[in-house]
Amino acid sequence: MKETFVKELVKPELRSPILVEGLPGLGLVGKITIRHLVRQLKARKFGFLYSPHFPYFVIVSKKGSVRLLRGAFYYWKNGDRDLILFTGDSQAQTIEGQYEISDRMLDFAKRCGVKLIVTIGGYRMEAKDKPKVVAAATNRELLDRALKAGAEVSPAGSPIVGTAGLILGLSHFSGIEALCLLGETRGYLPDPKSAKSVLEVLQGLLGFDVNLPGLDEEIAKGEKMVTRLQKIEERRVLEAEENKKEEDKKVTYIS
Amino acid sequence: MKETFVKELVKPELRSPILVEGLPGLGLVGKITIRHLVRQLKARKFGFLYSPHFPYFVIVSKKGSVRLLRGAFYYWKNGDRDLILFTGDSQAQTIEGQYEISDRMLDFAKRCGVKLIVTIGGYRMEAKDKPKVVAAATNRELLDRALKAGAEVSPAGSPIVGTAGLILGLSHFSGIEALCLLGETRGYLPDPKSAKSVLEVLQGLLGFDVNLPGLDEEIAKGEKMVTRLQKIEERRVLEAEENKKEEDKKVTYIS
Amino acid sequence: MKETFVKELVKPELRSPILVEGLPGLGLVGKITIRHLVRQLKARKFGFLYSPHFPYFVIVSKKGSVRLLRGAFYYWKNGDRDLILFTGDSQAQTIEGQYEISDRMLDFAKRCGVKLIVTIGGYRMEAKDKPKVVAAATNRELLDRALKAGAEVSPAGSPIVGTAGLILGLSHFSGIEALCLLGETRGYLPDPKSAKSVLEVLQGLLGFDVNLPGLDEEIAKGEKMVTRLQKIEERRVLEAEENKKEEDKKVTYIS
Amino acid sequence: MKETFVKELVKPELRSPILVEGLPGLGLVGKITIRHLVRQLKARKFGFLYSPHFPYFVIVSKKGSVRLLRGAFYYWKNGDRDLILFTGDSQAQTIEGQYEISDRMLDFAKRCGVKLIVTIGGYRMEAKDKPKVVAAATNRELLDRALKAGAEVSPAGSPIVGTAGLILGLSHFSGIEALCLLGETRGYLPDPKSAKSVLEVLQGLLGFDVNLPGLDEEIAKGEKMVTRLQKIEERRVLEAEENKKEEDKKVTYIS
Distances (CA, A) of D56 to A146, B22, B139, B160, D94: 44, 16, 21, 9, 12
Assess contact for C125 and C184: CB atoms under 8 A: yes
Chain D neighbors of B103, CB-CB under 8 A: 1-2
Assess contact for B164 and D60: CB atoms under 8 A: no
- Please give the full DSSP string across chain A, using - where no structure is assigned: --S-EEEES-----SS-EEEE--S-GGGHHHHHHHHHHHHHT-EEEEEEE-TTS-SEEEE-TTSBEEE--EEEEEE--TTS-EEEEEES---SSHHHHHHHHHHHHHHHHHTT--EEEEEEEEE----SS--EEEEESSHHHHHHHHHTT-EEPPTT-EEESHHHHHHHHHTTTT-EEEEEEEEE-SSS--HHHHHHHHHHHHHHH-----GGGGHHHHHHHHHHHHHHHHHHHHHHHHHHHHHHHHHHHHHHH-
Asked if the Cβ–Cβ distance from B64 to A159 is below 8 Å, we say no
Distances (CA, A) of A15 to A20, A73, A83, A178: 15, 16, 9, 18
- Is residue A255 over pLDDT 60? no
| Interchain CB contact of A237 with C (< 8 Å) | no
Distances (CA, A) of C14 to B136, B220, C31, D124, D220: 66, 80, 23, 46, 65
In this predicted model, what pLDDT tens digit does every residue of A182-211 receive, in sequence order? 999 998 889 999 999 999 999 999 988 888
Chain C neighbors of A254, CB-CB under 8 A: 254-255
Asked if the Cβ–Cβ distance from C160 to A254 is below 8 Å, we say no
Residue D116 DSSP label: E
Which pLDDT value is given to residue D24?
Answer: 96
- Is residue C208 over pLDDT 90? no
Chain A neighbors of C201, CB-CB under 8 A: none
Average pLDDT over residues B70-93: 95
In this predicted model, what pLDDT tens digit does every residue of B161-203 receive, in sequence order? 999 999 999 999 999 999 999 999 998 889 999 999 999 999 9
Pick the residue from chain A with its C-alpha nearest to C137.
A65
- Is residue B76 over pLDDT 70? yes
**Of the listed ranges A99-113, A240-254, D32-46, the one predicted with least confidence:** A240-254
Phi, psi of B199 (to 5 degrees): -65, -35
A187: phi > 0 → left, psi -120 to 50 → alpha, else beta; which? left
In 3D, which of C149, C192, C169 has the Cα closest to residue C30?
Answer: C192
Average pLDDT over residues D154-177: 95
Which pLDDT value is given to residue D245?
Answer: 67
- Please give the full DSSP string across B22-55, using - where no structure is assigned: --S-GGGHHHHHHHHHHHHHT-EEEEEEE-TTS-
Spatial distance between the Cα atoms of D78 and A64, rounded to a whole number of angstroms: 69
| Interchain CB contact of A174 with B (< 8 Å) | no
| Residue C167: its H or E element | helix C163-171
- Is residue C24 over pLDDT 60? yes
Pick the residue from chain C with its C-alpha nearest to D139.
C65
Which pLDDT value is given to residue B253?
Answer: 41
Amino acid at site D72: A
Which pLDDT value is given to residue B251?
Answer: 45
Minimum-distance CB partner of C95 among A61, A93, A253: A93
Which alpha helices (DSSP H) does chain D contain, by range?
29-41, 95-111, 140-148, 163-171, 192-206, 216-254
Minimum-distance CB partner of B160 among D60, D93, D254: D60
Spatial distance between the Cα atoms of D232 and D237, rounded to a whole number of angstroms: 9
Chain D neighbors of C56, CB-CB under 8 A: 92, 95, 98-99, 161-162, 165-166
The pTM of the full predicted model, rounded to 2 decimals, is: 0.88
Which pLDDT value is given to residue B187?
Answer: 85
Spatial distance between the Cα atoms of C33 and B30, rounded to a whole number of angstroms: 59
Assess contact for C20 and C202: CB atoms under 8 A: yes
To 5 degrees, how large is the angle CA B105–CA B111–CA B114?
75
- Is residue D12 over pLDDT 70? yes
| Interchain CB contact of C107 with A (< 8 Å) | no
**B193 three-class SS:** helix
Pick the residue from chain C with its C-alpha nearest to D180.
C66
Spatial distance between the Cα atoms of A160 and A124, rounded to a whole number of angstroms: 11
Confidence of residue A252 (pLDDT cuts 50, 70, 90): very low
Asked if the Cβ–Cβ distance from D153 to C63 is below 8 Å, we say yes
Q: For chain D, what percentages of helix, strand and coil (3-state, to nearest 5) are there?
A: 45, 25, 30
Average pLDDT over residues B15-44: 96
| Interchain CB contact of D254 with C (< 8 Å) | yes
Spatial distance between the Cα atoms of A24 and B214, rounded to a whole number of angstroms: 46
Average pLDDT over residues C63-91: 95
Amino acid at site B72: A
Spatial distance between the Cα atoms of C206 and C179, rounded to a whole number of angstroms: 12
Which pLDDT value is given to residue A245?
Answer: 67
Burial class, B232, CB count within 10 angstroms (exposed 0-12 / middle 13-18 / buried 19+): exposed
Spatial distance between the Cα atoms of D122 and A86, rounded to a whole number of angstroms: 54
**C127 three-class SS:** coil
Q: Which chains touch B (3 or more CB pairs under 8 A)?
A: A, D
Which pLDDT value is given to residue D112?
Answer: 96
- Is residue C250 over pLDDT 60? no
Average pLDDT score, chain C: 91
Confidence of residue D89 (pLDDT cuts 50, 70, 90): very high
| Interchain CB contact of B56 with A (< 8 Å) | yes
Which pLDDT value is given to residue D119?
Answer: 98
In 3D, which of D60, A58, D213, D3 has the Cα closest to residue B165?
Answer: D60
In 3D, which of D111, D200, D118, D217 has the Cα closest to residue D167?
Answer: D118
| Interchain CB contact of A140 with B (< 8 Å) | yes
Q: Which residue has the higher pLDDT, D251 or D32?
A: D32
- Is residue C182 over pLDDT 90? yes
Chain B neighbors of A159, CB-CB under 8 A: 57-60
| Interchain CB contact of B201 with D (< 8 Å) | no
Confidence of residue D150 (pLDDT cuts 50, 70, 90): very high
Confidence of residue B127 (pLDDT cuts 50, 70, 90): low
Amino acid at site D239: E
Which pLDDT value is given to residue B255?
Answer: 36
Pick the residue from chain A with its C-alpha nearest to B68.
A169
Average pLDDT over residues B154-163: 94
Interacting residues of C229 by C-beta distance below 8 A, sequence separation 6+:
none
Which pLDDT value is given to residue A127?
Answer: 67
Q: Which residue has the higher pLDDT, A102 or D219?
A: A102
Spatial distance between the Cα atoms of B147 and B205, rounded to a whole number of angstroms: 9
Assess contact for A184 and A134: CB atoms under 8 A: yes
Phi, psi of B27 (to 5 degrees): 65, 10
- Is residue A153 over pLDDT 70? yes
Spatial distance between the Cα atoms of A195 and A122, rounded to a whole number of angstroms: 9
- Is residue D253 over pLDDT 60? no
Asked if the Cβ–Cβ distance from A64 to C136 is below 8 Å, we say yes
* Lateral strand order in the sheet of D66-68: B159-161, D57-60, D66-68
